[in-house]
Amino acid sequence: MGTPVEAERPPKSGFPPTAAFFDLDKTLIARSSTLAFGRSFYRYGLLSRTDMMRGALAQFRYRLSGADHRQMEKLRAQACAACRGWPADRVTEIVSRYLPDLILPYVYAEARVLLGEHRSAGQDVIIVSTSGQEVVAPIGALLGAESVIATRMRIANGHYTGDMECYAYGEEKAVQVRRLAAERGYSLPSCYAYSDSITDLPLLEAVGNPRVVNPDRALRRTATVRGWPVLSFSTADRRSAQPVGMEGP
């Protein structure tokens, strides 16, 4: 995997703080965090059988080749339509109940090590994902992230309206990263970013230390041309799935 983090050089007093920004799906985990909960939402009556069939097809395509811009826009429209009217507290309950089984077993082993290296180097770990805040925030807590940037759905009277307040995708990821950096004083030329998808090129270009993980073809070509490090993560050992920081000796 190489040595992507300079752990021997922790931040010194007076130096601007730095952060490592991680995409989530296929970068930290080996599946789509949004589609992972489809069966659970169906079981609790939030998704129809048609929605489930669409989700299964999307998951299959995602595993084969990831998701391009057209597919992401299609998933966005489907998600907005499907969640309209959902009670927000029920979604939170379902995510909390099934998160350990549906997400933790899919965390890449190499990603766990990398997260620890960045924290040991005194750098904040931030997850930047197109998936919803209600899914990404608890995943971030389990993985030891300081905070997350994620898509936010509008909620009114305790129910989803089907509209988005923030779609954390493409250029918007970079916009949100720069906003957070300005708020916290991060030195972006010293920060890191990790992603698998060419759609995250704006995020990678926003920092001084871009890294690509299991990249799609377009991102691999870009990384080769620009001399960016390419990391290869394998599927995590599902037998040892547990929150970051809870590993045994």
Average pLDDT across the chain, whole number: 84
Exposure b/e, 189-228, CB count within 10 A at least 16 = b: ebbbbbbbbbbbbbbbebbebbbbbbbbeebbebbeeeeb
DSSP 25: B
Q: What is the mean pLDDT of residues 87-104?
A: 93
Domain region containing 227: 19-240
As a whole number of angstroms, the distance between CA 26 and CA 219 comes to: 13
Residue 11 lies in a domain: no
Higher pLDDT, 50 or 237: 50
The candidate with the shortest Cα–Cα distance to 1, out of 104, 108, 146, 103, is 108
CB 17 within 8 A of CB 185: yes
Q: How many domains does the chain have?
A: 1
Residue 207 lies in a domain: yes
Residue 55 lies in a domain: yes
What CATH number has the domain bearing residue 208?
3.40.50.1000
Residue 23 lies in a domain: yes
pLDDT at 239: 46
Residue 58 lies in a domain: yes
Residue 203 lies in a domain: yes
pLDDT at 56: 52
Q: Could you report the per-residue pLDDT of 177-189, keeping only the tens digit for each?
A: 999 999 999 999 9
Residue 247 lies in a domain: no
Q: Of 25, 51, 124, 196, which is the active-site residue?
A: 25
- Burial group, residue 52, by CB count within 10 angstroms (0-12, 13-18, 19+): middle
Contacts for 116 with CB less than 8 Å, ≥ 6 apart: 244
Q: Which of 146-155, 179-188, 190-199, 228-237 has the lowest mean pLDDT?
A: 228-237
Residue 6 lies in a domain: no
Give the CA-trace dihedral at 62, 37, 103, 72, to 10 degrees: 30
Q: Could you report the per-residue pLDDT of 214-238, keeping only the tens digit for each?
A: 999 999 999 999 999 999 998 765 5
Q: Is 23 a catalytic residue?
A: yes
Q: Is 124 a catalytic residue?
A: no
In terms of pTM, does the model score above 0.85?
no
pLDDT at 155: 95
CB 211 within 8 A of CB 228: yes
Q: What is the mean pLDDT of residues 205-214?
A: 98
